[in-house]
Amino acid sequence: MKVGFLVNPIAGMGGKVGLKGTDKVSEKALKMGAKPIAPQRGLEFLKKLKGLGLNYNVQLITCPTIMGKEEVRRAGLDANVLPMKIK
């Protein structure tokens, strides 16, 4: 089975500092003390997947760098990384 794994590294940051999302205001959220939470949640998911042994039946497909590849690596898994540029 193929599973796409994508991390939006700024998802969820705005609410922690009283903003309604982070669209076009992620830098403001960071200045207000927001911390990225989506990468850690993605890592927790991957560790659970690995712990259940499901990773042997799953071919992960992800994005480069902070949009998935780093979390896959930190979880000790392998993935096909899509060839794309990340800003």
**Tens digits of residue pLDDT in 15-47:** 666 666 666 666 777 777 778 888 999 999 999
- The pLDDT value given to residue 22: 64
The more confidently predicted of residues 14 and 75 is: 75
Torsion angle in degrees (nearest 10) through CA of 49, 47, 13, 2: -40
Helix (H) or strand (E) holding 49: helix 38-51
